[in-house]
Structure 1
Amino acid sequence: MTGPRVARVLLDSPLPQLDRLFDYAIPAELGADAVPGVRVRVPLRSAGRTVDGYLVELAEAEDPDRPLSELESVVSPVRVLPDALYRLARRAADRAAGSASDILRLAIPKRMVRAEKAWATRGPAPATQPDPDVASWARSVLDAYPGLADAVAEGGRIALDAPPRPAHGSPPVGAWAILLGALAVETWARGRSAILVVPDHRDLAQLEAVLAARLPTSALVRDDAGRSGPERYAAYLRLLDPVPAVVIGNRSAVYAPAHDVGLVAIWDDGDPLLGEPLSPGVHAREAALVRQELEGSALVVAGHTRTTDVARLVERGWMREVPPARRLTPRVILSPPAPDEVRAARLPSAAFAAAREALRTGPVLVQVARPGYAPTLVCADCRTPARCPHCGGPLRRTRGGGAPECAWCGRQTRDWRCTHCEGERLRMASVGSERTADELGRAFPGVRVIVSDGSHPVTEVAETPALVVATRGAEPLAVGGYRAILLLDGDRMLLAEDLRIAESALRWWSNAAALAAAGAPVHLVGVTGPAARALATWTQPVYARGELATRVDARMPPAVRFARIEGPRPAVDACLAALRTDVPAIADADVLGPVVRRTEPDAPEGLRALVRFDYAHGAAVARSLRASVVSAAVRARGRGRDRAAAARNTLRVRVDPPDVEL
């Protein structure tokens, strides 16, 4: 004899103590609609209110005599939470010591009634067959990588070095977009879905330009935050149809519930935009690794450089490399400025001559580190950084001859005085994109100068001669490629206090160099060392292996994993004590801190600690940290209903934080 059926519901709540399945009785009037995957509204007995959630599964009641609250209502009959998506969210959240509902909040768009009704009335998307010419195009592109198509068809895990050149044609796109587009088309032609995840809208536009011309409209689904709410929800509903699709999108697209996924591809995984800032902070690459393990789809991580994270996976044999049939690399020239030219100009004579020659036939790209005119000002006498007298923020100039203004509060400061030496004169400590444009405009009279940065975004430039001054990551695409590329401020980029700064700088330089036309010179100015040599010889994987070896010796990520713990002293101390008990392998040397973190003057003393651990102990560490978070949340909740006080006393945990500094 079986007991009554109950609905097991995951609540859509940020409270960590509610991150589990709750049993609810199913009233007779909802029996037909209460199916796994639908949105439901349920009562919370302790709070006396109703909350939204997802009906995950139907099960038999463990104790038929125990009274259960009933489902309040079924919000929508659409099964928006497939079982595969719930398992992915649960596994990714457990790995990061977070909540599955936080993952689902990123993966499932808000409900839009009008879009839902339109989807319900039109029926499932039609199944389409690939055009023979398109399939032939995909195979011809993949021929440059012997064995790649077979590895993807077999569900392999591949580290792919993308071709560093722009593709021919208009609109301009990178050859990497052609390669990933061909992989997606090949996967779709085999009757399976493909998911392509890229960092930002520029990359997304390139993929869309490649695929929109080769796939039916119903087969290409764009999933990104730049679309409106109804558009995102309509695209999500389309993916619920049992018809293969090619999904392109930003970091949350890695969770897209496409039908029978055969390929998940991540482009440029070192870009910080692929790291999720919201709790639990799961990087798109890590989510793709979890998904590949669960579903057996192929995984391709591609880029012009290789992160140390991917290098570790290749070294351990978990991913494999597929080299191209022939090696195509940019012509990189290291151009350290001569001693007598350091003060006179930012460009050495060789780079200046290369730019002048290239401007006869087309555009020249100049990459700089910072936007604006003078991003950093210092005292001209003692070189102390200039600070705002009102808020203490850094001073800068936004235009030549303008008054200094604060980068934080925006106030102008006309009567500035140095707090260190009483000096009254300011000088530039760094030069931004607009000042660089002014200097180059005077050096190359009559040449058009284009600035591309966060305030002046430019996505494409023509083949006509022009000087394009762009900040890192904001370089426009040039029709036919740039005739020369000058990489400035590399020495300043490397001064940032960041564990991964050399790795990041190599990625910035490589992505810019990949925009050069065939045979065009790429000058890296003022930089020497391993990262510069890796760019010059185009051996980024070798550099990543060497950097990884250094991290192994220092026990720093990604050779080991890290967790950051923040909160009031009692909660942090209790968390660390529980962690040492639950995971005896955690030694005292693996706990960095705790140290007092900066708080408001009247706030209770807070601590921050870092814990490093080997990958083999990841599951145990995550369980222990999650248990401590739940315990701290329950204690804070029990002290009263003051939400502000509860927030101050909350224990916060981040596994694999992007910044591991104390």
Structure 2
Amino acid sequence: MTARRIARVLLDSPLPQLDRLFDYEIPDELAPEAHEGVRVRVPLRAAGRIVDGFIVELDDEPSADRPLSEVESVISSVPVLPRRLYDLARKVADRSAGSASDILRLVVPRRMVRAERSWQNAERAGVPEVSASTAEWAATALASFPGAADSLTRGARIALTAPTAPVTPGSPAPGWVGILAAAAARLLVAGRSSILVVPDHRDLDQLEQGLIAHGLGEALIRTDAAQSAPARYGAYLRVLEPTPSIVIGNRSAVYAPVHALGLIAVWDDGDPLLREPLSPGVHARDAALVRQEQEQFALVFAGFTRTTDVQRLVDIGWVEELRAARPAAPRVVLTPLREGETGTARIPSAAFTAAREAVRSGPVLVQVSRPGYAPVLACAECRHPARCRACGGPLHAGARGATPTCSACGRRAEGWTCASCGGARFLLIGSGSRRTAEELGRAFPGIRIIVSDADHPVLDVPETPALVIATRGAEPRAARGYRAVLLLDGERMLLADDLRIAEHCLRWWSNAAALAGPGAPVHLVGVAGALGRALATWSQPAFARAELAERAELRMPPAVRVASLEGPRPAVETALATVRSDVPGLQASDVLGPVPLPTTGSHDGDVRALVRCDYHDGPALARSLRAALVAAALRGRRSRSRGGARATLRIRLDLPDLNLETQQ
């Protein structure tokens, strides 16, 4: 009996019912190019169309009565999906109740023909060399954390608090950049690759500069969403080459299929940018943990603070904690707000005096909570919040005397009058970055004022005297650090309706405090208690441990896993019934809802339910949710074929908190 060549293909489709391997026969004329990992086009009989996919496996089977469709064409002979990457995508998708194709869509860039041909014709680089001086520097840098070198060699999971030395542009990298670069250099000497994952482009720029400064540029591959499509695809093809490399990138870089992986380091895992917004919404930290179990390499979680997620892993012994031989911390001063203080609003006299003295010798950083001028307006007569007459959204002012604008719809509030009392005058409530800059400009005549926020980001500031007003996360770098740091609006930041707001605030303040120069004062204004003490004593892991203990008592994440189910009420209730029968350890109090969702246009009338479970029940919950998702998709397909409405079920696992509004 003759045999035929079979390709098992993963379809590039968002439909959950198609998240499996399909068998196709390979025609003889395509056999020379149809290798594992290549892109192909195949027919989908159910839809009567041609779809893209990847060959995951090849097999031979006897010709039999089983009818099989044939592979339509091979898009490219370059194998862009190594088996280890498919296995990782499959495992991550199964853990998050998602589809493997959704994971791979984030990792494998779309094909760029010119970039592919250029890569095919280019001369392959040899194994990158690490100079003796770089290897010696790396060993010295790692020695500041006793046991770090041994932990990297044996592939341990590590949590560490990074040193706070500022990163100076154009010079060899100290601080957090230096410790990550040293770890990557040590692994490169051993012929192993490293992946360094950071939240945004500013961190990438710092990391790239530091690696190049230490002679590691030859092994460096940068990959991020800001690159052009050809550049990103070219970088991905370089990653596939069988030589050790150092890959730096944002959240999707954690999946990079490098050769001989020896290290993944995730910097500042509390940053929300490291959580993928697209389905299935997997955090880079969780993907790294799954991959470490699969491939056995060193895994490092580093930051100036400690998330409760990582602290949970430390507490159960899954991650080991490394401490610096000589811990260094900024000089934090807890500065209370007192009634009757004179001087610039929101800045106590002690902090104001420190800023006045420090600015004579260099830049001073002032962190504020909000951008803009006056983020909130009220009626000057009755103090009622000023609302847009068109949509009811809050109004804000972009400058003193400017016509207010609605924060929701963007309309200008020309001729506004208060709906409560008829008043026509506004009261400015709160101070954004620009109003703060205006106030400090009057208080510090002759001093340059620099504003850095999301609309006008500033990456670096010079050593000359200046007041730098920055929103949280937009603080520029200063060579040799700031002469003083003022952290304002702490009480306002803590008012946010968020389970993790204290954890977030500690991260924002720690990252800003780490920018201070040696011995420079850091004034935390208006915050005391355990949170203030944690910053003042630089004991963020202890604060994370206390936070985690409180959440465990209340069964709040990350002490438990939490899933969200959204969709029409019948679909959500059917899924909940499936979950209750499939997860025996689930308690009645662990199912919250369903409750109606706010009106959202295409999802009017939808509801939401939350399900929480212990980690040992997580795999069963993920399987049950995935089965419910597939069943709902099949029911929706049958309903649409009969002319009914589309019934979609949307699922997310591992929500960071239980606040329904923050999950919208």
State yes or no: 1:661 paired with 2:656: no
Q: 1:219-230 to 2 correspondence within 5 Å? A: 219-230=219-230
Contact residue 173 and residue 477 of structure 1 kept, 8 A: no
Distance of 1:602 and 1:476 partners within structure 2: 41
**How far has the Cα of 1:217 moved from its partner?**
4.2
1:414 deviates by: 3.2
Aligned amino acid, residue 511 of structure 1? N
TM-score (norm 1): 0.97
Note the C-alpha offset of 1:420.
Answer: 3.3
Say yes or no: does 1:413 pair with 2:400: no
Relative to structure 1, the CA distance from residue 2 to residue 472 in structure 2 (aligned partners, 3 Å threshold; closer, same or farther) is farther
In the aligned structure 2, how far is the partner of 1:474 from the partner of 1:340? 31
2:300 is the counterpart of 1:303: no
**Residue type at the aligned position of 1:620:** A
Query: Following superposition of structure 1 onto structure 2, how do residues 248-287 of structure 1 map, counting pairs within 5 Å?
Result: 248-287=248-287
C-alpha separation in 1, matches of 2:172 and 2:367: 19
Given residue 353 of structure 2, which amino acid in structure 1 is its aligned partner?
Answer: A
1:284 Cα offset (Å): 0.4
Partners of 1:2 and 1:60 within 8 A in 2: no
Q: Which amino acid is 1:393 matched to?
A: G
Tell me the equivalent position of 2:371. 371
- In 2, the alpha carbon distance for the partners of 1:221 and 1:366 equals 35
Structure 2 residue aligned with 1:490: 490
Distance 1:603 1:286, change over 3 A: closer
Distance 1:644 1:217 in 2: 58
Classify 1:350/1:644 alpha carbon distance in 2 versus 1 (closer, same or farther; 3 Å): farther
Spell out the pairing of 1:30-429 with structure 2 (5 A cutoff): 30-61=30-61, 64-167=64-167, 170=170, 175-215=175-215, 217-341=217-341, 345-429=345-429
Q: Does the CA contact (< 8 Å) of 1:126 and 1:218 recur in 2?
A: no
Residue matched to 1:613: 613
CA distance in 2, matches of 1:564, 1:428: 39
Q: Gapped runs of 5+ residues in structure 2?
A: none
Pick closer, same or farther for the CA change 1:601–1:420 going to 2, 3 Å. Answer: farther
**Counterpart of 2:649?**
651
Q: Summarize deviations over 1:282-305 as a string: whole Å, max 9, x none.
A: 000000001111000100000000
Q: Give the corresponding residue for 2:437.
A: 437
Q: Distance in 1 between matches of 2:438 and 2:29?
A: 73
The equivalent residue for 2:523 is 523
Aligned length: 660
Whichever residue aligns with residue 469 of structure 2, its letter is V
C-alpha distance in 1, partners of 2:516/2:118? 46
Residue 502 of structure 1 corresponds to which residue in structure 2? 502
For residues 306 and 644 of structure 2, the distance between their equivalents in structure 1, rounded to whole angstroms, comes to 43
Q: What is the rounded CA distance, in whole Å, between the counterparts of 1:347 and 1:644 in structure 2?
A: 61
TM-score, reference length from structure 2: 0.97
Alpha-carbon deviation of 1:604? 5.7
Query: Which range is displaced more, 348-357 or 28-37?
Result: 28-37
Q: Which amino acid aligns with 2:274?
A: L
Range moving further from structure 2, 343-352 or 459-468: 343-352
Please report how far the alpha carbon of residue 316 of structure 1 lies from its aligned counterpart in structure 2 after TM superposition: 0.1
Report if the CA contact (8 A) 2:171-2:210 is conserved: no
- Does the CA contact (< 8 Å) of 2:254 and 2:284 recur in 1? yes
The separation in 2 between residues aligned to 1:75 and 1:283, in whole angstroms, is: 31
Tell me the CA shift for residue 624 of structure 1. Answer: 0.6
Cα deviation for residue 455 of structure 1 reads 1.3
Q: Any idea what the Cα deviations from partners look like across 1:360-408, whole Å, max 9, x if unmatched?
A: 1110000000000001112234433211111222100001111111122
Q: Deviations over 1:141-190 (max 9, x none)?
A: 11111110110111000001001221456459661011111111111111
Deviation at 1:213, TM superposition (A): 2.7
Partner SS, residue 595 of structure 1: strand
Tell me by how many angstroms 1:600 deviates.
Answer: 5.4
Alignment of 1:469-618 (within 5 A): 469-599=469-599, 605-618=605-618
Aligned Cα root-mean-square deviation (Å): 1.8
1:511-567 C-alpha deviation (Å, 9 max, x unpaired):
000000000000000112211110011000000000000000010000000000001
Matched letter for residue 196 of structure 1: L
Counterpart Cα distance in 2 of 1:351 and 1:176: 28
- 9-18 or 372-381: bigger deviation: 372-381
Deviations 1:184-237, CA, capped at 9 Å, x for gaps: 111111100000000001100110001123345441000101111111101100
Equivalent position amino acid for 2:650 in 1: R
CA shift for structure 1 position 643: 10
1:550-586, CA deviations, whole angstroms, 9 ceiling, x for partnerless residues? 0000100000000000011111110000111111211
- How far residue 429 of structure 1 moved from its aligned partner, in angstroms, is 2.1
Q: 1:659 to 1:390 in 2, by over 3 A?
A: farther
Distance in 1 separating the partners of 2:320 and 2:209: 29
Residues 603-630 of structure 1: per-residue CA shift (max 9 Å, x gap): 6632100000010011110111011111
Structure 2 CA distance, aligned partners of 1:651 and 1:406? 33
Measured after TM superposition, the shift of residue 48 of structure 1 is: 1.2
Assess if the C-alpha contact under 8 Å between 1:487 and 1:522 holds in 2: yes
Q: CA deviation at 1:641?
A: 5.3
Distance in 1, Cα, partners of 2:167 & 2:232: 30
Aligned to 2:640, what secondary structure does the other structure show? Answer: coil
Residues 165 and 515, structure 1, Cα contact 8 Å, conserved in 2: yes
| Contact 1:169–1:480 (8 Å) recurs in 2 | no
Following superposition, the deviation at residue 588 of structure 1 comes to 1.3
Number of the residue aligned with 1:627: 627
- Give the match's secondary structure for 1:273: helix
Given residue 584 of structure 1, which amino acid in structure 2 is its aligned partner? P
Structure 1 equivalent of residue 15 of structure 2? 15
**Equivalent residue, structure 2, for 1:460:** 460
Preserved contact between residue 4 and residue 64 of structure 1 (Cα < 8 Å) = no
In structure 1, distance between residues paired with 2:597 and 2:188: 51
Q: 2:38, 2:77 within 8 Å by CA — same for their partners in 1? A: yes
Change (3 A) 1:40 1:401: same
What SS class does the counterpart of residue 328 from structure 1 fall into?
coil
- Find the counterpart in structure 2 of residue 25 from structure 1: 25
Alpha carbons 1:155, 1:299 under 8 Å: kept: yes
* Conserved? CA contact 2:366–2:467, under 8 Å: yes
Distance 2:148 2:166 in 1: 21
Contact in 2 for aligned 1:172/1:477 (Cα 8 Å): no
Counterpart-to-counterpart distance in 2, 1:410 and 1:601: 19
Secondary structure of 2:282 counterpart: coil
Q: Distance in 1 between matches of 2:347 and 2:238?
A: 53
Q: 1:427 to 1:352 in 2, by over 3 A?
A: same
**For residue 527 of structure 1, what is the amino acid of its counterpart?**
V
Amino acid in the other structure paired with 2:336: P
- Matched residue of 1:558: which SS? coil
**Which stretch has the larger CA shift, 530-539 or 555-564?**
530-539
* Contact 1:395-1:404 at 8 Å conserved across structures: yes
Question: Which whole-Å CA distance do the structure 2 matches of 1:82 and 1:538 have between them?
Answer: 43
